[in-house]
Structures are given as C-alpha cells and as structure tokens.
Structure 1
C-alpha cells in the first residue's frame, strides 16, 4: 500500500461524501448486496453496519464480494479524474456520437489538457477512443449486416472514412473479410476495455485489447498464415471464451480451458507455455523465466517472445516484470498490467488459505 487507511468511520464518512481522494485507494464491501464499490459510487449509500472496508481489489474479491456494475471498480484509476469520468460517462451514454474538439470546449474542457490526460492514462486521446467505440459498433453490425449498415451504425457518413478507420484497427478494410471463413474475428467487452478475439470452430488464435498498437500487424500476420481466410463473426466456442473471461474478471477462477492455437516458432511457443505455468498472483523476471526453462542464456530471446504474444491474459505475459520488481512495458497498457496483477493477488491469497 502507498499509504495507511484511516479508521472505518472516517472511510464511511468519505463514502457518504463520495470523496474522490479515496478513489482507487480504498473500497467498500456491502454485505446486503454482496458487491464492492469505489467510495465515489453513485449508488444509494448502505448503512454503516453493512459496510466493510478494504485496501485493494484483491482483498475485496478475497472476501467474496463481486464488482459493482455502477461504479466499475475494476476500471482504471483514471476514473478518479473528474474530466475523464465525465467524458467516459458521456461516451457510454452515446457511443455512436461523433466527437470533436468543439464538443470538449462546449463541456468546459481545454482540448489539449484532455488530450494529455487520456494519453497519460490510456495511451490514446479521447477522440481516438470515441472513434474506436464507434468502430466497435460497426464491427458488431458487420457480423449480421452489410458494410453500409455497419458504416451507419458506426456513425461514419463517408464510406471511405469508415473503410480507412476499420483498416487502421484491423489491418484490412471490412469488405476484405470473407463470409464463411475458417477463422472469425469478434469484439468482446471486458472491465478493462474491448478486446478482439479470433477463433476457429474449436480453438482461439488471437485475443488482444482493441487499442493495442500492434493489433493490426498481428492480424495481418495471422491473415497471411491462413491465406486471408478470416471473416467477421463468432463460432460457438466464443461463448466459452466469454464465460471464462467473465469468471476471471469477477474473481471466480483464473483457469482457462479454451483450446489455443499458438502461431510462433518452437522456442516462442516454449516461452508461451512457460508463461502459462506462472500461477495467478505470481510474477517472474525475464531472467528467472529463462532459468526455469533451462536456458538461462536466453533472457533477451524470452523477452522478445513475451512481447509478440498475441493471446493476452490466457498466455499471461502481464506476469513478467523487471528484475528489480518494477512493472515493465505491456502492449495493452501499463495501467492494465497493474490492474491485472492487483486483481490476481486475490487468486494467490485464496490458494494460500
């Protein structure tokens, strides 16, 4: 912990006031509902007798509480920023709206300040995030409709603008994804943001956060491997992926049984298998992982293999940290890596007990 928590009575007063100073620093578990919340949660406040307070997400999950669906305590700490919180709420309320800098000014914000804040927390600007959210709607519409319908659902007036934005996200324009393909790509929502999943009828080939900069490159490489036989949609196995991710994020289980297809060299696949052996709640340095694999001289090669992992969470590259114990870079964003490690402390505590 970065600081000592005050008394429970003080925290209860902070809960009543929705004091932003404690957002992300302390959480409340409510015995009558079985959920845990941020102290800034907009929900009706519980009685003092029904509240217990915890220093982190893992402690809440370990105590048997589920994350609140109103204040989303698993979301990034950036939500403590009032401007980010306001804009994220506006984006959730109307994900198809076409945002511009003039909209930010009308809401009383300086566009350059908002740009810096979102880049610092999320690695992208708010306008980029809004554009991506619109693309997500179009992506979903493509599963059952035509490109023009997806374009309109995504709020793009120009077909060329939609094709360009879609290609920037997925590495190819929407009309290049054939129907009846062997592999299919679909959006999946998680508490830490949207992800892209690519499956065939029986296995998962790719799972990445939609804002990962390397995603278009990864999809291009995958398309090349399967001779462009990737479409838009979902097979029945996608339901298993949704269920297992839901259990993971709710603190129920860190076990993933969905079959994987690992596209990499023999050594790269060996590294990925070693990553899967790191228990949830534990971490390793690159050098320690190389030693566990019996190749202590291959630290750099292990790091490269870790960096090209294209099945996030299930192949847990987020469990690799620097030798000095500090978090290193993560393709999905350092803030996500920190959240995942914090979430997984719950699993380590439960295993110990």
Structure 2
C-alpha cells in the first residue's frame, strides 16, 4: 500500500493521466474491482474509492483484476506478446490451475513464460496465476462467502488442497483469516544485507535480517499470534522504517520513531524498553541490564528476552555483550554485531552533531 501523504499526489496524477507516473503506482477501484495504470482512459473514480499500490502483484493479492481498457499487465510498449497472451488467458479463466498441457495448447514454452514473467513482474507465470486466483479467494472470504464457496470457485475439489495452497500464498489458512487481519511483508536492502519488514497500516511487527536462522519460525509464530495472513506489500510503517534505516546507516539517526507493535510478555517488553534507552555507541552486559530492569539475578531471562526480540536494530539487542567484554550472541550473526557496534561508536560524534542540529 502507498503512504497516506502520497495518495493525493497519485490521485491528481490519475486525474491528469500523467504519463510520468507510469510504473510508479497502480490504482485499485473499490467500486469496480479492477486496477489500472495512471493513464487509464476510463472515467475517474472518486478519491475515497481508490486504493494505491506500488506493484501489480500487490493489487492482485488485494483481489483486484486488471482493467480491460488500460491493460496494466500487458501494455504493448512494456511487455512481450507472449506475456500479454498469457495475461489475457488468465483473465479469461482466472480460476484455472495451469498445467503443461495448457501451455502446449497455446503453443507456448513453459520455461520461456517463466523467465519472461520473472523478468517483467518479479514472479513466474505460475506464481502470477496463483496470486490472481488466491486474490479472488481472499476477496470472496472477506466479503462473507463461505470458505467452501471460495474453494470451489477457484477450482479446488479438495478442501485440504485449497487450504494448503491458500496458506502458501496468504500465510494463513482460510478458516482463520479475519477481517482486517492482513500483514504486509517487504524486502529492504541495507549495507549489511537484506532485511524483511512486516507491518500493518499502523505499526511495525517484525524487522529481521533475511538470513537469520529460524526466521521462518518467527514469521509463523507472528502469523499464529496475530491470526493474520502475511502477503507481499508496503505499508506506512514499512516505508517509515525503510527511510530510518537509511538514516541509521548514514549515521544521521538519533532514534527510531516508526510505530511498533511489541508482542511479548510484560518482562520481555520491560527489557525491550530498557534496550531502547541504551544510547548508540554504548553497551551493557546482561547482568547490568538485569539490574536496570530491577531483577539483578534474572540475567538469563534478560538474555532470553534479547533472543525473543523481533525488531532488529530498532530494539538494539546488539548493544548487550558479555560481562568480560566478549560480544556474546546475536541472531543476525556476530560479524554484523561487531560491525554495528563499531559503526555506532565511530559515528558517535555524527549522532551528537545531528541531534544538536535537529534540536
């Protein structure tokens, strides 16, 4: 989803059919269920009926179908005839589950289709068709239709097969999906490697390095605890943390202000709050941190709370070390922990200068 402050700008571009915004956003129209390019010649919807997306995949997973007038996925100047042909075939039968025989009937090489879709849309043709099918299923379930109806409409005879496929795409079994319980996940590049950010429209739930051991289990626990689906996309908090991470790595950030949703026990949240009070460039031992939260003998519990932190960098568990000065553990890897501590220490003067300038 697009940040609120950008929506008016994008809506104005939509009204003006401004070609400079081609590829920058797509607009989903709630009243028609279609999504369009900024230059679509169709009659313009009211602002309150618009949802803006950065990618076509986001719009698909939000249950919108491609507009037949502006053809957002098959504009002649941007995609090949093969891609356009396959997009039109999917729209003719969006519930279809594609097999090798279907490609042969269209005289299309399946591996070529895979490569061209991956290059153009960042997903294979099968992933596109599945996202389109499951986006419709999500829309049906959210509108109050029984799960069995969504299952049959999407061409699944087996309820278990439908649940498995739905869960792989949406991150939650259809019977557990609740209204407004969708979290977005985005890939963010940083100097220390890519991170995954998960958030709703209000707050950030998770920020971790993609290669962190056990990340899949973390995401699964988050899904279960919030009873949410996790699907690709951006929200305001994700855009916020993306900007703040850039400032952090530039040495210009005094503190992270992106809204957070902390899911932990009262003791864990107490530890996380104290962690956020450790200034950049400083460290604490586990024993010192335990004393600061009023439980001097609970340094092992403090260490466990550190390990349960799902908001890397924002809740700076990398600033906690062993009493003898050794780095101790870190979910993102000791090399990253060492780099972060050196970065914060070296940038200490820059942090102070930037803080004074901001004040």
Query: TM-score by structure 2 length?
Result: 0.51
SS in 2 for 1:342: helix
Partner residue in 2 for 1:297: 297
Partner residue in 1 for 2:225: 225
**Partners of 1:280 and 1:344 within 8 A in 2:** yes
- CA deviation profile, 1:303-341 (whole Å, cap 9, x unmatched): 000011000000000001111111112111111111111
> What is the Cα deviation at residue 297 of structure 1?
0.9
Partner residue in 2 for 1:348: 348
Alignment pair present for 1:143 and 2:138: no
> What is the Cα deviation at residue 302 of structure 1?
0.2
**Partners of 2:207 and 2:312 within 8 A in 1:** yes
> What is the Cα deviation at residue 217 of structure 1?
0.9
- CA deviation profile, 1:256-310 (whole Å, cap 9, x unmatched): 1111111110001111111101100001110010011111010000000001100
**Partners of 1:251 and 1:346 within 8 A in 2:** no
Distance 1:251 1:286, change over 3 A: same
**Partners of 1:181 and 1:231 within 8 A in 2:** no
C-alpha distance in structure 2 between counterparts of 1:222 and 1:326, whole Å: 31
Partner residue in 2 for 1:211: 211
- CA deviation profile, 1:35-91 (whole Å, cap 9, x unmatched): xxxxxxxxxxxxxxxxxxxxxxxxxxxxxxxxxxxxxxxxxxxxxxxxxxxxxxxxx
Partner residue in 2 for 1:246: 246
> What is the Cα deviation at residue 158 of structure 1?
8.6
> What is the Cα deviation at residue 350 of structure 1?
4.4
C-alpha distance in structure 2 between counterparts of 1:141 and 1:338, whole Å: 39
C-alpha distance in structure 2 between counterparts of 1:174 and 1:189, whole Å: 23
Moved over 4 A (4+): 144-152, 154-159, 177-181, 350-353
> What is the Cα deviation at residue 176 of structure 1?
3.7
Give the superposed CA RMSD: 3.2
Distance 1:190 1:351, change over 3 A: closer
C-alpha distance in structure 2 between counterparts of 1:297 and 1:150, whole Å: 57
C-alpha distance in structure 2 between counterparts of 1:346 and 1:222, whole Å: 35
**Partners of 1:193 and 1:209 within 8 A in 2:** yes
Distance 1:157 1:262, change over 3 A: same
C-alpha distance in structure 1 between counterparts of 2:253 and 2:202, whole Å: 22
> What is the Cα deviation at residue 173 of structure 1?
2.3
Partner residue in 2 for 1:285: 285
Unaligned runs of 5+ in 2: 1-54, 62-96, 99-112, 132-166, 354-359
C-alpha distance in structure 1 between counterparts of 2:258 and 2:328, whole Å: 28
> What is the Cα deviation at residue 174 of structure 1?
2.7
SS in 2 for 1:297: coil
**Partners of 2:318 and 2:340 within 8 A in 1:** yes
Partner residue in 1 for 2:339: 339
Choose 194-203 or 141-150, whichever is displaced more. 141-150
- CA deviation profile, 1:207-256 (whole Å, cap 9, x unmatched): 00011112111111110012133322111232211111110001111311
Partner residue in 1 for 2:81: none
**Partners of 1:142 and 1:150 within 8 A in 2:** no
SS in 2 for 1:223: helix
Partner residue in 2 for 1:323: 323
**Partners of 1:180 and 1:231 within 8 A in 2:** no
Partner residue in 2 for 1:262: 262
Distance 1:223 1:352, change over 3 A: closer
- CA deviation profile, 1:141-162 (whole Å, cap 9, x unmatched): 8535579999952687997xx9
C-alpha distance in structure 2 between counterparts of 1:234 and 1:326, whole Å: 38
Distance 1:263 1:143, change over 3 A: same
Give the counterpart of 2:168 among 166, 169, 173: 173
Partner residue in 1 for 2:192: 192
- Aligned pairs (5 A) from 1:103-182: 142-144=57-59, 153=118, 173-176=168-171, 181-182=181-182
Query: TM-score by structure 1 length?
Result: 0.52
- Aligned pairs (5 A) from 1:12-91: none
> What is the Cα deviation at residue 351 of structure 1?
6.2
